[in-house]
């Protein structure tokens, strides 16, 4: 599978990554190489193999349902670019 420069632009948009146009040619080459490797792996017959959700042979540890976090709003909001009324402010988004 290969990706053209439009595909790269679309992926970058989805991932919210800013990519210079001059880089797209090289990127499409490099990502194409990765996808070729994926193609090679996908050629293997795995119809009798359960998907592996995690490489560790372990299961999730569970936490008791207890509140053990305290209010640290001021601490966290010190590094926020903008806040008001306890809210984090971000450029307006309405979808």
Partner 1 sequence: MEWEVVIGLEIHVQLTTKSKIFSGSSTAFGADANTQASAVDLAMPGTLPVLNEQAVKNAILFGLAINADICRDSVFDRKNYFYPDLPKGYQTTQMDFPIVGPGIVEITLSDGSTRSIRVHHAHLEEDAGKSLHEDYQGMSGIDLNRAGTPLIEIVSEPDMRSAEEAVAYLRKIHSIVTYLGISDGDMSQGSLRCDANVSVRPKGQEEYGTRAELKNINSFRFVERAIKTEVLRQIELIEDGGKVKQETRLYDSDKNETRPMRSKEEANDYRYFPCPDLLPVHVEQSLIDDLRAGMPELPDAKRQRFEEEFGLSAYDAGLLTGERSVADYFEAVAHSAGDAKLAANWVNGELSAALNRDNLAINSSPVSAEQLGGLIQRIRDNSISGKIAKQVFDALWNKEGDSADAIIDSKGLKQVSDSGAIGAMVDEVLAANPEQVEQFKGADEGKRKKMLGFFVGQIMKASKGQANPGVINSLLNEKLGD
Residues of the shown chain interacting with partner 1 in the complex, contacts defined by CB under 8 A: 10, 14, 16, 51, 53-54, 56, 58-69, 71-73, 76-77, 82, 84-95
Asked if 29 and 3 touch (Cβ cutoff 8 Å), the reply is: no
Least distance in Å: CB of 66 to partner 1? 6
Q: Rounded to whole angstroms, how far apart are CA atoms 73 and 53?
A: 35
Q: Which is nearer to partner 1, 22 or 51 (CB)?
A: 51
Least distance in Å: CB of 22 to partner 1? 24
**C-alpha neighbours within 13 Å on the C-beta side of residue 76:** 7
């Amino acid at each position: 599978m290969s990706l053209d420069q439009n595909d790269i632009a679309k992926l970058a948009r989805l991932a919210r990554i800013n990519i210079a146009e001059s880089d797209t040619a090289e990127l499409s080459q490099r990502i194409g190489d990765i996808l070729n490797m994926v193609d090679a792996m996908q050629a293997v017959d795995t119809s009798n193999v359960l998907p592996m959700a995690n490489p560790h042979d372990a299961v999730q540890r569970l936490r008791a349902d207890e509140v053990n976090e305290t209010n640290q709003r001021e601490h966290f909001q010190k590094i926020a670019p903008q806040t008001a009324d306890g809210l984090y402010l971000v450029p307006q988004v309405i979808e």
